[in-house]
Structures are given as structure tokens and as C-alpha cells.
Amino acid sequence: MPRRWILIYGSIIVTAIAVFVAILQADLIHSVFFIGEAHDAWHLDELFAAWIVATGALIAILIVRESELRKLIVQQREILKLVDDASAFDGLTGIANRLQFQSEFGRELKEAWHKSSRLALLVVDVDLLRSVNETHGHGAGDDLLRQLAARLVSVPHRGGMVARLGSGEFAILFPMGSDETEELFRLASRILSRLREPFDCNGTQVDITASIGISKYPRDGSSATVLLQSAEKALRQAKAAGKDCYALYDSGLDARGRERRSLETEFRRGLEAGEIVAQYQPVVCLKTGETVGFEALARWQHPTRGLLGPAEFIPIAEDEGLIDPLFTAMLRRAGDDLATWKTPRTVAVNLSPVQLVDPHLPDRTLALLEQMNIPPGQIELEITETGLLADFEAARKTLVALKEAGVRISLDDFGTGFSSLRHLNELPIDKIKIDRSFTRRIATEAQSCKIIASMLSLGRALELTTVAEGVETREEADFLLSEGCELGQGYLFARPLWPQEAFATAGRFGG
């Protein structure tokens, strides 16, 4: 029996005895209990017996109720624990939530201040999480987040805290023995590598990448709020660099952040004002010199900053969800320019990785081509291998629908992706474009020449058209022609041209 119940029962019995003894010793017993003949039946021994019976009954009731009281106490403790857990842990992933993270972060900072030690904060954000939710549903997205949290916890990081801050964003506290930037970078690399491994969501294989922003205490701030803001700024820098990478906070990011926010506002306005224009780079037959088509390259004709290249605004379009409006603007530009060219030419337009998992893209694209009276066969959509990582099956369905309607598909930057042979085997590819990183080494590296020869041989075996990008010298063009490459694109033939210049050069390279 628990000690508290022994004390309760003992107190009751002692109290009963004390009261009875007091009655025995009282001088006014008879005046209290024997007033007149009517009370002759009440004797002290009977009164004591009644008192004992009442006390025993009370004790019996308490004994019977003890188990119920104990259950109530246990239930109350369980409820309090559930309340504490709900306020401290994320309901989806089971790891610490933002509230618990902030509390622990504050405690860690105080300890680091007293010990003069260092801390690092890593903010991890899932790339293209929205596309997973749109393609497979939020249930699959939730399953993905649970698996992702488990992987983050499994990566060794000196026992630092792992928390979910919200949506697809996570945080990791990393205690540092010294200013160990290299060790910090190794941790970030391990995390990215771990997250590149395929996820199984409801029987479907999903490939994702993540971006990481890093800040350090005390270098980048002394409070949890400032350090989190610094890590978030570094995260945006990592995403702007192409995603699937990490970045360490740089104080110069503040100025660049203000510049970026200004550009975001101006880009939205520029899209509506029709400031997105197209330049065209010829694709040339290496054997005859004839221009067989063009690649449309997006440019932003900014009213005060001048002509801006894609590196200035493509990351903004991706982060702000403006890729579809940008693609539509480019397709309209290409359609308008094609209508002015007397000689029909194929025009290639780049397709963003975000769009590949959109099941409605084929219908929207074909409707727009029909509206502009442009045959689908005159449009070629260029994709990159890295763009297939988010969801290969969804991307395949999108491309098949476009291909069946007559739109041509080309695989850009061939040779730099992760699984080129699978892509060539399962996707409706018409053309492969050999990345310029191989072309520019033709004159200096025998290994690059061998790789190019192998890719050209593969293209012929699969009956695919091959294009070499970045051709800048006659030596490069001659080597490619000797190895059986059909088409070339690069500064040897022409830099990106304005529409009327492109039309004027349509036969310039004819043999």
C-alpha cells in the first residue's frame, strides 16, 4: 500500500480514538449525553461502538475507492504528458516542432555563451515539395516528410537537435568544438547525399533534392532569431545557386537580399508588361552549314537595368511560382516570331523541371499552340536530366502526351545527369544535346573526345538526332563532323540573335 494511503488511514483512526478519549475525560459527559430519562439508552460504550463503526465504514469506502483514485491520477498524468508532447513535438513527423526548437535553441545558446563554445544552425528545405503534393496528393507528401525526418535524425551530427519548422523545412543544431567550417560542410554534404536516395511513397518511387542554409554562433548572431534569419538567407542563396546544395551565411547577403526582393517585384510587373523577350541561337547542320532551327533564349528587357540574362530572373520565377507565366510568355513570343518567318523553322523552348510533373501542362501548351495557329511539330521542348529527379513517372506521362500531339522533345545537357540510359530508353526523346563542358575540351583532352564519340555512337544506335552545344572553333566542328555528329550550336555560327536577325541568317550558313 502506498505511504500516502497509510498516512490517511492512520490519521482517521487516531482522530477517532482522540475524540473518544476526550469524551471520556469530559466533565460534562452526563450533561451532554444523559439529559433526563429520555437518554438512558445512550451509554458511552454504545457511543464509542457507533463511532468505531462509522470510522470503519469510512475507511472501507476509502479502500474501495483507492484503485479508482489511482486510475484517475494515472489518467491525469497521461493527459498532461500528451499535452506536453503536443506542444513540443510535430504531430506528423514525431520530431521536435518549432516551439520546442526555439526553447532548446535558447538553452543551447545560453550554455554556449557560458562555456564560450560554438554552435551551428542548418536549415534544410525540400526542393519541389509542392510538385509532389500536386502530383501524388498530400498523403504521399506527408509520407515523404515522415521519411525525410527519419533520415535527418539518422545522419550523425553530435547529438544536435533535429526539428521541423514547418512545411518542408527542418532545422538541425550542431554543437561545434571550434570554428570547424570544413566539418560543417561535410555534414551538409552527408545530408544532401542521404536525401538524394529514392523515397517510397505509397508504392511510388519519388526522387527529391534539398537545399541547406547554414549560420554559426557567435559569428552570425547571438540570438536564436538572428541566427535563424541568417540561415534562412543562406538557404535562399543555395536555392538561387541551383538547389541541391548548401550555402554558409555571408553578411553581404543582406544587401543582395534587398536587391533580390526588389527584382522579384519588378519581375512580376515585367511579366505583365510584356518585358520578357526572346533571342534565337541558330542550330546548324555541320555538313551543309544550313540553319535547321533555333533555340529561343529568354531575356528580360528591363526598363532601367537593360537586357538581363536568364540567370538574373529564372531563380526568381521558380521561387515565386512564376515559371508557368514565363513559359507561356516565351511560347507566345516564339509563336509571334514564327508567324513572321516565311521559311518554317523549328524553335526550341526550355521547359522548367517544375513543369514536368504538372499533368495539365500538355493541354495548356497544345491549346496555346492551336490559338496561335502554330503546328506542334514546329515546337521543340528542351528538358534537362536533373529535371526528371522530382518524379520520373509523372514527367514521362507529361512528355508522352506532348510527343503524341506532335511536339518534339530534346534532352539538354546530355552526359551531365544521373541516369542517362534510363532516360533514353523510357522517354519519348527525339534529340540529345551534348553538353558544352565536353565540346570545349575537344582540343585539349583526349578523354572528352572519347566520351563524345561514345555519346554520338549511342545516338546513332537509338536513331536519335545529336546536337553539340558550345561549338566555338572550326577544329571542334571538324572533329564532331568526323565522328558523325549531325548538328551544332555555338558562337562559331552565331551568338543569340534578335528575331529579325535570326530570320535574315536563315540561309547564311548554306553550303
Q: What pLDDT shows up at residue 121? A: 93
Q: What's the rounded Cα separation, in Å, for the pair 73 and 71?
A: 5
Q: Round to whole Å and give the CA distance between 89 and 79.
A: 15
Tell whether the model's pLDDT for residue 283 goes beyond 60: yes
Q: Please write the tens of the pLDDT for every residue from 298-309.
A: 999 999 999 999
Q: Is the pLDDT of residue 36 over 50?
A: no
The amino acid at 23: I
For 418, the grid coordinates are: 544521373
Q: Where are the beta strands (DSSP E) in 203-286?
A: 204-206, 210-217, 246-248, 276-285
Partner residues linked to 175 by β-bridges: 119
What is the mean predicted confidence (pLDDT) over 487-495?
94
Q: What is the pLDDT of residue 244?
A: 84
Provide the percentage of residues in the chain whose pLDDT is more than 90.
38
* Residue with grid cell 541541391, as numbered in its chain: 244
Q: What is the mean pLDDT of residues 315-319?
A: 82
Rounded distance between C-alpha atoms, residue 251 and residue 273, angstroms: 34
Pairwise pLDDT comparison (19 vs 360), residue with the higher score: 360
The Cα 258–Cα 255 span in angstroms is: 5
- Polymer length of the chain: 511
Lowest mean pLDDT among 16-25, 86-95, 384-393: 16-25
* Percent of the chain as helix, strand, coil, to the nearest 5: 55, 20, 25
φ, ψ of residue 426 to 5 degrees: the values are: -110, -15
Radius of gyration of the chain from its Cα atoms, rounded to whole angstroms: 38
Q: Which of 26-35, 132-141, 447-456 has the lowest mean pLDDT?
A: 26-35
pLDDT, average across residues 348-364:
89
Structure-model confidence comparison of residues 489 and 18, the more confident one: 489
Do you find a cis peptide bond into 325, omega within 30 degrees of 0?
no
Band (33; pLDDT cuts 50, 70, 90): very low
Q: Which three cell numbers stand for residue 20?
A: 473518544
Q: What is the per-residue pLDDT for 229?
A: 92
Rounded to whole angstroms, the Cα distance separating 280 from 499 reads 7
| Whole-number pLDDT of residue 3 | 55
Beta bridge partners of 181: none
The C-alpha cell that represents 50 in the structure block: 457507533
Residue 210: burial class (beta carbons within 10 Å; 0-12, 13-18, 19+): buried
If 0-12 CB within 10 Å is exposed, 13-18 middle and 19+ buried, where does residue 66 land?
middle
Residue 118: strand pairing partners: 176
Distance CA 104, CA 82 (A): 19
Strands 465-469 and 210-217: unpaired
Q: State the chain's mean pLDDT as an integer.
A: 82
Q: What is the pLDDT of residue 391?
A: 72
